[in-house]
A and B are shown apart, each in its own frame.
Chain A
């Protein structure tokens, strides 16, 4: 009897569950009534306003910016909400899609999808009203511009940069002298000879933290100088028909494999994190180190005058200075009730005051003249950055292509370093991810 009653009860329960699920097609469609773009007026209303700002990079910087902004606009308070970077990238889509979305959000990989859904506002009208084209460097704004569907098309602006980042190569001046090197290389061939000289002197030439993101920085640095920046950017932004399977990219990738085969890249690269490779560099375990400006403060503190910085050299001397970088930038939620106050904050980022705060916190200011060039390795980074901005040479990091691109890049470079894949196979695996996202219109 018990068994006979149990079955129908179970079936009834199951039916209820399945029908309950049936009503829930996962996700929600975008609300067509929400605004897609900011208003064209910029006047900040006279009322007490609190803006929440969700972000992942540099809490000290954000706190200082919020305080300085509050001083200028006493009736507007910025309430920063910090999330650790890895968690931030994972959760930002849901955060921005929720009804309790913050007013402002740090821009991150995958923001195209968020823009496409209409969860962040097109800042186009503010760009004209505030004259942002003059206040921010073109490359900084370009990286934040797109159609909301494809970053390669359209003129919609989805964020404004506060501080900038850039990768390059640090070197230990003392060890370099020991290996007989007297100056940073000016061409790729000269760098090649220097790496060989260091190797011959019995030291590890190049420190790379390829367990996480160091490997892709090295690959991108080589690629930046091999591939026409405009072609590369078209690929990252998903322009129709763009491809990474080109002769230039193949040559750059082959170079990376060659360096690994010749023992220029530390054997342990694949098992070392970015942080650990930086630590090893400080201890004199490698002469060169692939890393970004974010490490400059740490290196300057621990190595002092021993540390130097240069950009990956191009084939020809005096060629256009190109490097990988992005910005700490902020977007406005389409659910905010105070778009004009949020706009005032974004415009404030271009002010001298804000730029001084940015520089003091170890980021490269959008306006180099805002802060004096610092000494030592920090100064070398700042000067290299100026060359890159002057040459319009700032490329996106390659993982900006698609949210799913980071993994194939990381794993792919590890395989290249270990000789487990060919440059051709590696590029094809990247293009597969690209095709999946943008469609193979080739």
Chain B
């Protein structure tokens, strides 16, 4: 609780959180106006898909930056050393810090998306289950990238390093990961498709998108070939849980293992 309060106090004074939330608010309003002025059948689902496809550009990078700078600030202001002298291990500090950042980032987002639902109610026929799935997808994406951001903040020694690492990770998940898999596609057979599928769903952006679209029953995996059945060897939700666990544990472990408490002046 102490960390949540501390994080709240720090973020409320800074620009990062408000910038991020303002961007999400603005984007969702623009998309609402766009689809409200051109109503289509099942417009609610169309709006959610378009909203997700748009904010997926922003949430990962914003969360990476918020997470990274939040940790880095502790190092820069020497508060990290003070906190760790109180018999607190870095892992426990990191866990509390991530919890704090997550709560502080997710609360305004949740509040906005609740308000947004009220706005949607005037224009569309709502499907609450789909909306909750949408919110869950956004929240999972935010937490995951905040955690990865915290890892960046842990092992970076300067602001430049943070910017470099963040942009690389964003670029990796947005382009590079899929590009590598695309290049491997001609060599995929029934024998190796499960391994390929595992790597495909290691990209959180793909895992979350497929979970969202299938859970909303917008995207259907039907009449699948043997290859595709092998590819989808478990449920999209299971892929998402696996992906989430992998990146949360992986980034936490790397943050603890490679953390540097010193900062380049």
Answer yes or no: do A and B interact: no
Residues of B within 8 A of A (CB): none
